[in-house]
Amino acid sequence: MKKILALLLIITLMFSLIGCGKAKQEDASSASGNTSNTENSSENNNETKDGEPVKLRIVMKDLSPSNPGDVKYIEELEKALAKKDINVKFEIVETPSGNYAEKLNLLLLGEDIPDIIYFQGGDKQIAEQGILEDLTPYIEKSEIIQKAMLPHNKKRMENYPYLIWLKPIKTKAPVVRSDWFEASKTGKALLDNPTIDNYYKFLKELKEKDFSGDGMPKYGLTVSGNIIELDSIFNQAFGITGAWVKDSEGKYVYGKVSEFEKEKLAFYHKLYKEGILDPEYLTKKWDTKEKAFYDNTVGLIIGSTGKVIDIYDGKMKKANGQEASLTVLPPAKGKGQGYLPIDVTKESRGIAISALSPNKELAFKVIEFLASDEGQMLDRLGFEGEHYEVKDGKIHLTEKSQEWFAKFFEVHSWEPTKKIATPLLSEPAVDSMKKAEKYYVEDTNFMIPEGFVASWDAMTNLYKEYSADIITGKKSIEEFDTFVKQWYEAGGKEITEFANKLLK
C-alpha cells in the first residue's frame, strides 16, 4: 500500500512539473510577443478573424492622408498586396509640419507608435529604448530582400539592424547646363583635370560670362543652407577624405578641426568674397536653390545622384529647351578625389518596424513586397494612365513621369517585365550614378556613443557657427584656431582619444 501511495505521489508530482513548464513556456511566449500558436494571430494570417484586412499604421515624411496623390498610392499598394494574399488596410499617420525627425520623435515618445515607421534621423534614440525591431532574422529568411541589398546596405545592416533602405549609392554631384558648359572656355580643362584651381576658373567664368544673353547668371553656384553640398565637390581634394583623417604623426583627428579644413574654408571665403558663391546660400532652401538654377541666376548646383538629378534635368529642359540638358561634373582632384565618403555605420534614413507591433511579420511582408518586381512597378513607375501608358506591349513614360519618385525603394537590379520604350532615367541621372560608383569612398567614422552625444551636438553647432562666419567674412580665417581650441575644450579631446582607440 505504501508503495502504491508513493508511486501515485511521484506521478502527481511529474504531471505538476509538466504543467508548470508548459505554463512558463506560454508566459514567456506571451511576454516576447510570440503569438505563433494563437489561432487568430495576425502574425500568421493576413486577415482578421472576421475576414477583414489587418490594419497597419504607417508614418512617413512624404505620405499624408490629406494629399489625394498619397491616398491613391496607398490604395494602389493595398490592391497590389491583395493580389499576393497580403490583406492589409493602411492608416497613414500624419506628423505636424516642421522638422520631420523632431516631430516624429515627439510622436513616438508620446507612445503613439505606428507599425511601420520611416526615419530621416533621430532613430538611434528610439532604437536604444527597444522600440524598433531587429530586422536581421526577417532578412535572413527573405530571398527578395537579400537579392536587393548592395554591399553598403549589408554593412549598414550588420552595424545597425533597425533600418532598411534599398537604394543605390547616394551622394551629391554638381550639375551645369550642357550648352553653357560647351560654350565655356574653361569647361574642357575642368573635365580633363578637375583640380581645385580649374574648378575655381570655371565657376568664375559662370559668374562673369553672359551665357544667356540677359545679363545672367549673377553667381557661379549656390547651395541650400549649409556647405555639405560644396563639400561633396571639394572635401577630398583638400585632404578631408573622411570624418576622421590622419595628421602628420599618423594619429586620427576630426576632419573639421584639421589644417585641411582651415585651407578649405579659406577657399570658400574666396568664392563668397568674389561673388562666385551666392551670398544668400545660408538662407536658401531646396526649392529656392532649384528656382535660381532654372531661372539662370546661378550656373551650377549640387544634387543627389540618380532621380533628383533626373528631375533637375527634366525641369531645366522644360524651362530652357532641350539643349539645356545637364552635364554632371566630377569631384575636384587634389590630395584625394571623390564625392562625399559613404557612411556604412548605419542607414541615415530608412524603414523600421515597431517592436511593439502585434503585426511585425505582416509589416515585413509589406516591406518585402516593395522590393519585389510587382512592388517596384508601382513604386518606381507610379500610376498607369498618369505617369506611364502601355502601348503595343511597351511602357511609355509620360511627361508627368519626371515628377514621380519612389516613396520607398529603388532596387538596383530591377527591370520591368515589359520593355520601357523611353529610359527610366535621363542620361545625366544615369551618368551621376555611374560617377557615384566610380568615386565611391567609404567613410572613416563611427556612431557617437551615448556619453558623448550632448557634447558632440554642442561641438557641431560650434563648427556651424565658425564656418559660416569665416566664409561670410564675419570672422577672419585666423580665428579658425580659436574654434579648434574651443572644440577640444568642449569634449573634443576625449572623443579624439576614443576615436584613436576605435579606428586604429
Query: Which of 23-37, 67-81, 182-196 bottoms out in mean pLDDT, i.e. has the lowest?
Result: 23-37
Q: Which pLDDT score, from 0 to 100, does residue 212 have? A: 79
Q: Mind giving me the DSSP string for 323-346?
A: GG-EEEPPPPBSSSB-SSPBP-SS
Do residue 181 and residue 148 come from a single domain? Answer: no
Same domain? 375 vs 262: no
Residues 194 and 323 in one domain: yes
The three-state (H, E, C) secondary structure of 405-441, written as one string: CCCCCCCCCCCCCCEECCCCCCHHHHHHHHHHHHCCC
Residue 277's nearest CA partner among 206, 207, 220, 208 is: 220
Q: How far is CA 62 from the centre of its chain?
A: 13
- Structural domain tally of the chain? 2
What sign does the dihedral 108-142-87-413 (CA atoms) show?
positive
**Percent of the chain, pLDDT > 90?**
75
The DSSP code sequence of 18-39 is: HHHHHHHHHHHHHHTT--TT-T
CATH number at residue 355: 3.40.190.10
pLDDT band at 213 (very low <50, low <70, confident <90, very high): confident
Answer yes or no: is pLDDT of 205 > 90.
yes
Highest-confidence range of 25-34, 79-88, 209-218, 418-427, by mean pLDDT? Answer: 79-88
Domain match, 196 and 70 both = no
Please tell me whether residues 312 and 448 are part of one structural domain: yes
pLDDT at 425: 86
Check: CB of residue 232 under 8 Å from CB of residue 173. yes
Residue 38 counted as domain residue: no
Residue 381 belongs to a domain: yes
- Compare 45 and 166 and report the one with higher pLDDT: 166
Please list, residue by residue across 360-389, b when 16 or more beta carbons sit within 10 angstroms of its beta carbon and e when fewer do: bbbbbbbbbbbbbeebbbbbbbbeeeebbe
Q: Which residue has the higher pLDDT, 470 or 169?
A: 470
Does the pLDDT at position 493 exceed 80? yes
Same domain, 406 and 463: no
- 302 against 442, higher pLDDT: 302
Of 416, 433, 454, the domain-final residue: 416
Q: Which residue has the higher pLDDT, 212 or 107?
A: 107
> Domain boundary residue among 372, 400, 416?
416
Residue 1 has pLDDT above 50, yes or no: no
Same domain for 162 and 116: yes
Are residue 473 and residue 328 in the same domain, yes or no? yes
pLDDT at 35: 34
Count other Cβ atoms within 10 Å, centred on residue 114: 23
Return d(Cα 151, Cα 143) in angstroms, integer: 15
pLDDT at 248: 87
Task: Give the count of beta carbons closer than 10 Å to the beta carbon of residue 233.
Answer: 24
Q: Would you say residue 48 lies in a domain?
A: no
Q: Which three cell numbers stand for residue 13?
A: 508530482
Residues 378 and 309 in one domain: no
Residue ending a domain, among 397, 416, 435, is 416
State the pLDDT at residue 115: 98
Give the alpha-carbon dihedral of 172, 176, 178, 183, to 10 degrees. -140
State the pLDDT at residue 48.
61
Asked if 233 and 377 sit in the same domain, the reply is no
- pLDDT category of residue 10 using cuts at 50, 70 and 90: very low
Q: Is 388 helix (H, G, I), strand (E, B) or coil?
A: strand
Other Cβ atoms less than 10 A from the Cβ of 497: the count is 12
Question: In the predicted model, what is the mean pLDDT of residues 495-500?
Answer: 95
pTM above 0.85, yes or no: no
Tell me what pLDDT residue 16 has.
41
Instruction: Check residue 50 and give its pLDDT.
Output: 63
* First-to-final CA distance of the chain: 76
Does the structure show a pLDDT above 70 at 161? yes
Report the 10 Å Cβ neighbour count for 303: 28
Residues with Cβ within 8 Å of residue 387, at least 6 apart in sequence: 381, 397, 398, 400, 401, 403, 404
User: Is residue 224's pLDDT more than 90?
Assistant: yes
**pLDDT for res 215:** 74
Residue 424 lies in a domain: no
Domain presence at residue 426: no
Q: What is the pLDDT of residues 11-68, one digit of tens each?
A: 343 334 334 433 333 333 333 333 333 333 444 456 665 678 999 999 999 899 999 9
* Nearest Cα to Cα of residue 408 among 347, 342, 361: 347
- Domain-located, residue 29: no
Residue 289 lies in a domain: yes
- What is the rounded average pLDDT of the residues 148-156? 92
What domain range is 319 assigned to?
172-341+444-503
Question: What pLDDT score was predicted for residue 225?
Answer: 92
Same domain, 230 and 308: yes
Residue-wise over 31-43: b if at least 16 C-beta within 10 A, else e? eeeebeeeeebbb
How many C-beta atoms lie closer than 10 Å to residue 128's C-beta? Answer: 10
Asked whether residue 422 carries a pLDDT value surpassing 90, the answer given is no
Mean pLDDT of 173-199: 97
pLDDT of residue 45: 53
- Is 436 inside a domain boundary? no
Mean pLDDT of the chain: 88
Residues 352, 335 within the same domain: no
Q: Name the 3-class secondary structure at 40.
A: coil
- How far apart, in whole angstroms, are the C-alpha atoms of residue 468 and residue 460? 12
What's the average model confidence in pLDDT over 306-326? Answer: 94
